Amino acid sequence: MTPAAHAVDRLIAAYQRSVSPRKGFSCAYRVAHGDASCSGVVRQAVRSRGVTRAVVPAVVQLVACYQAATMLAQSDVSGVCCCGGIPIPFRFPFRS
């Protein structure tokens, strides 16, 4: 692993360990699909491909998370996508 990939991997690990458990919401992709969270998918891409080659898979994951949030918006599930520095909320009032 390159020094840059190692640094990014450590940053994502710190986020997963320190920030994610305390933020109060879960990744929309993980909620919708029962799969890995966005940070987990991006971390794995960085570890296996390096920082530069992980950019496209990271963007694909962010789009998939946005689509999952859109899908969940039509249900009674609520939360916020945890990918990236910008949360994507999907908290909606219950529909009658």
User: DSSP per residue over 8-56, as a string?
Assistant: HHHHHHHIIIIIGGGSS---HHHHHHSS--HHHHHHHHHHHH-TGGGHH
Cα separation of 96 and 87, whole Å?
Answer: 27
Residue 81 has phi, psi (to 5 degrees) of: -70, 135
pTM of the full structure: 0.73
Domains of the chain by residue range: 3-84
The pLDDT value given to residue 40: 94
Q: Does 85 have pLDDT greater than 60?
A: no
Residues in contact with 39: Cβ distance below 8 Å, sequence separation at least 6, in sequence order: 12, 15, 16, 20, 27, 82, 83
Q: Does 81 have pLDDT greater than 90?
A: no
